[in-house]
Amino acid sequence: MTAAPKSTLTPTERRAYEAHGYFVRRQQFSAAELTSLRGAAERAIDHAADTAAVGKVYYLDGKQFVDCGPSTLQFEHESGSRTIRVLEPVHLHDPSIDDLLDDPRLAKPMQALVGETGLALWTVKLNTKRAFEGSGFGWHQDSPYWMHDCNHVERLPNVMVALDDQDKNNGCFAIVPGSHKLGILPGTTDGSQLGGFFTDPSTFNAATAIHFEVPAGSLIFFHPHCVHGSGPNRSARPRRALIATYQPGGFAALKTGVVRNIRGF
């Protein structure tokens, strides 16, 4: 274990993360940078779509997934849809997204949240949330997905990079504040294949959820135990977002099994 770094969080951010499980840094990227990142996201989707034809196709609860090497593509829920909903990990499909992982605007706060100078990638995904088509994400925690694959699940903080303006109409991100203090909560027991990955609604109060209506370029840092989700995109605007998860340096990433240390840290 390396020495704990000097914190780059403000006292207000530290208190917010400890008390509520999240904090926000608004408009951290310029218009030109956002244009570049959006282009990278679309290139990654196009590249993944090209490989999907030779991937392993399967269905869970009638929803289509394709595994292409270490990447998983989730498609929109309508039968026969060819719209990619989620791509994970996305950095393998465009070098600009891989470079973003080393950006100090993401990595420096993560040093403080992980508690070590050395950092590595755990996973990074792209949620596309296309106009009029993007489906929502039910209330869930990330930690139940990951707890069988690592022994440091509480040291896997996330950061969402908003590539587009977010509001309730286009399905903005939402968190139940303080839910990270509840630990890993039980999943639903509705008998579906994916039900166990959605948090039992009796274990938290969804009425207290905070909806993040933030401008493009904002960063939302949040704890892996936070109950979170989002609504569908009912607007004519996309709501694309990258979500990167970090961990202590030297540990292998979730899907690739390869150590991707964060450069410069």
Report pLDDT for 52: 85
Report pLDDT for 3: 54
Q: Which amino acid is at 74?
A: Q
Report the interhelical angle of 104-114 vs 11-20 (nearest 10°).
60
Q: Are 211 and 247 in contact (CB under 8 A)?
A: no
DSSP E strands: which ranges in the chain?
22-25, 56-60, 63-68, 71-75, 84-88, 119-127, 137-140, 158-162, 173-175, 210-211, 219-222, 228-230, 241-248
Report pLDDT for 6: 60
Q: Are 195 and 201 in contact (CB under 8 A)?
A: no
pTM across the whole model: 0.95
The rounded distance, in Å, linking the Cα atoms of 46 and 49 is 5
Question: Domains of the chain, with CATH numbers?
Answer: 11-29+102-248 (2.60.120.620)
Going by DSSP bridges, is the β-strand pair 56-60/137-140 parallel, antiparallel, or unpaired? unpaired
Residues in a beta bridge with 121? 246
DSSP E strands: which ranges in 69-147?
71-75, 84-88, 119-127, 137-140
Report pLDDT for 7: 66
Count Cβ atoms within 10 A of the Cβ of residue 202 and give its class: 0-12 exposed, 13-18 middle, 19 or more buried: exposed
Report pLDDT for 104: 97
Question: Nearest 5°: phi and psi at 15?
Answer: -65, -40
Q: In a structure prediction context, what are the per-residue pLDDT tens digits for the chain, which is 265 residues long?
A: 455 566 689 999 999 999 999 999 999 999 999 999 999 999 999 999 998 888 999 999 999 999 999 999 999 988 889 999 999 999 999 999 999 999 999 999 999 999 988 999 999 999 999 999 999 999 999 999 999 999 999 999 999 999 999 999 999 999 999 999 999 999 999 989 999 889 999 999 999 999 999 999 999 999 999 999 999 999 999 999 999 999 999 999 999 999 999 999 8
Report pLDDT for 1: 46
CA distances from 34 to 146, 161, 162, 190, 234 (A): 30, 10, 9, 40, 23
Go through 68-89 and write b for each residue having 16 or more CB atoms within 10 A of its CB, e for each that does not: beebbbbbbbeeeeeebbbbbb
Neighbours of 161 (CB within 10 A): 26
| DSSP 8-state secondary structure symbol assigned to residue 248 | E
The rounded distance, in Å, linking the Cα atoms of 197 and 29 is 33
The rounded distance, in Å, linking the Cα atoms of 232 and 76 is 11
| DSSP 8-state secondary structure symbol assigned to residue 184 | S
